[in-house]
Amino acid sequence: MKQLILLFVFQLFSQFASAQQHPNIIVFLVDDMGWQDCSLPFWKDKTPLNKKYHTPNMERLASEGMKFTNAYAAPVCTPSRSAMLSGMNPAHLGVTNWTSPIKDNNTDNPDDQFAPADWNINGLSPVPGIAKTAYATPFPQLLKDAGYFTIHVGKAHWAPMGTPGANPHNMGFMVNIAGHAAGHPQSYLPEQNYGNFPKQQAHAQAVPDLEEYYGSNTFLTEALTLEALKALDEPIQRRQPFYLNMAHYAVHVPIMADKRFLKKYLDAGLDSTEAAYATLVEGMDKSLGDIMNYLKKKSIEKNTVLIFMSDNGGLSLSPARGGAAHTQNLPLKAGKGSVYEGGIREPMIVKYTPLVKPATVAEQYVIIEDFFPTILELAGVKNYKTVQQLDGKSFVPILKNPAWKDDTRALVWHYPNKWIGKDGPGINYFSAIRKGNWKLVYSLRNSKSELYNLDEDIGEHHDLSKENPAKTNELKSLLGERLSGWDAPMPVDKKTNRPVPFPGAR
């Protein structure tokens, strides 16, 4: 009897020790959410835009964890999502634009000056030999191999239909709910079956797997949340560590109102588009709160890492958004698709009770490819092998010490593509690099460089390139060296039929 008791105690201790070594991990990834699309300020001051939105659960998460004020992603979605899963910079991957649901379809708009760059139009692939893809080992596969129960819910958008990367199961996920090749939902509305319209030809953007909610009152964001919580029951019952990729379609277009929250925004004087957009934000925030409440109810919140992030800056195009174009992310310049701060700086929060002190703020800059090594380190996965060379760096040292600082690291953004038909601020054929507080924005059209000190000029209004030519040349050369070393895709000049030279090249 004594031996049985000792054995039971040993098993309990082993399970506890294993849980501490292998915490549950959730990445809560929002689509197209801007740095200012919340009531939680990520700047030194609360702005009018922060007062426009209602995100109490983001505020709650920040009060219990660490807020990152200098977190970055790529200007558009597929590059960010591929960078996150692979740990590689999008320029290194060669996945620099969003991928079409249709295989071999280049999504670049036509241009008078440039022919398209030779980029990986078929996205990310977990297997070699697929044309126009970046071959890499996804970290969910490494987590699965280490004993994690891996779940994907919501938007995937790593690759087109007919390629391995389109299916989350091929990326290491044991469960997939509503993830496929499309980059936005056909509809958020249950009365429209989330785009699965009866007696109509199927749309590539129709959201799969949610038939039980057709014709109900369950908005897409809510349906995905309910399904995610159902999926978590199995690993929790089995005492198995889990990884949940909670990837909402919100707040991407089409901007459709979540009626649960609409009246108060209309009453506050927002136009119908901006009111609907605010409901998408609040519905996303409710989902975050529901997941946090679930973790607490299941008594696993202390052993769960929860990372909140967006995949690119907020949309700032009119008439898709209300108000004047490129004002929706102020004080940041521009928005989605741009290498200016409005297109790449993201709201990011991390909670992990054993490691992160509550209500802390980290000013050190990080980027979305850093998620790969960070998550594996937090999971206790060591000595793993990948087919790719990682560009990301673990931010675990920052989680341990929010004052941790490294001004020597350079972050790179590269968009050798034409996203929209008309050029905008930092949109179409731009690259950028940040090192310390200095940021260089480089036009691939005319080789012009702009230099900004982000500590003094977060809105990127004052170009200091002529005042500080030494710093300008330093960063331009470093940007060119990095892109050249990665053999990054470059647009092709129609006059010469040759790729545009890398920055700083002669």
Q: Tally Cβ neighbours within 10 Å of residue 498.
A: 10
pLDDT(13) > 70: no
In a domain, 318, yes or no: yes
φ, ψ at 207 (rounded to 5°): -80, 125
pLDDT per position as a tens digit, 236-246 = 999 999 999 99
Question: Residues 153, 191: one domain?
Answer: yes
In a domain, 6, yes or no: no
In a domain, 404, yes or no: no
Residue 12 confidence (pLDDT): 37
For residues 32 and 251, the answer to whether their CB atoms sit within 8 Å is yes
Residue 506 confidence (pLDDT): 63
The domain containing residue 458 runs over which residues? Answer: 411-499
Mean of pLDDT over the chain: 95
Average pLDDT over residues 298-307: 98
For residue 487, what are the CA distances in angstroms to 94, 356, 408, 433, 481? 8, 38, 23, 16, 10
Residue 394 confidence (pLDDT): 98
Q: Token pair for residue 203?
A: 């749309």
Q: Token pair for residue 202?
A: 């199927």
- Say which CATH number the domain at 426 has: 3.30.1120.10
Residue 280 confidence (pLDDT): 98
Residue showing tokens 């989680």: 399
pLDDT(2) > 60: no
Average pLDDT over residues 450-460: 98
pLDDT per position as a tens digit, 408-434 = 999 999 999 999 999 999 999 999 999
pLDDT(125) > 70: yes
pLDDT(10) > 50: no
Question: Residues 348, 426: one domain?
Answer: no
Please say which residue of 364, 398, 432 terminates a domain. 398
pLDDT(6) > 50: no
In a domain, 13, yes or no: no
In a domain, 384, yes or no: yes
Looking only at the bridges linking them, the beta strands covering 430-435 and 410-415 are antiparallel
Report the alpha-carbon distance of residue 418 to residue 413 in Å, rounded: 15
Residue 20 confidence (pLDDT): 52
For the chain, helix (H) and strand (E) counts, in that order, are 13, 18
pLDDT confidence bin for 273, thresholds 50/70/90: very high
pLDDT confidence bin for 202, thresholds 50/70/90: confident
In a domain, 3, yes or no: no
pLDDT confidence bin for 11, thresholds 50/70/90: very low
Residue 3 confidence (pLDDT): 54
pLDDT per position as a tens digit, 308-351 = 999 999 999 988 999 999 999 999 999 999 999 999 999 999 99
Amino acid residing at 64? E
Q: Looking at the chain, how many residues does it have? A: 506
Residue showing tokens 């920040």: 62
pLDDT(9) > 70: no
Count: domains in the chain: 2
pLDDT(261) > 50: yes
Average pLDDT over residues 14-28: 70
Looking only at the bridges linking them, the beta strands covering 114-115 and 366-367 are unpaired
Report the candidate in 120, 118, 116, 183 with the shortest Cα–Cα distance to residue 155.
Answer: 183
Question: Residues 418, 392: one domain?
Answer: no
- HEC string for 369-389: HHHHHHHHHHCCCCCCCCCCC
Please say which residue of 352, 371, 398 terminates a domain. 398
Question: Residues 451, 326: one domain?
Answer: no
In a domain, 177, yes or no: yes
Please say which residue of 398, 425, 447 terminates a domain. 398
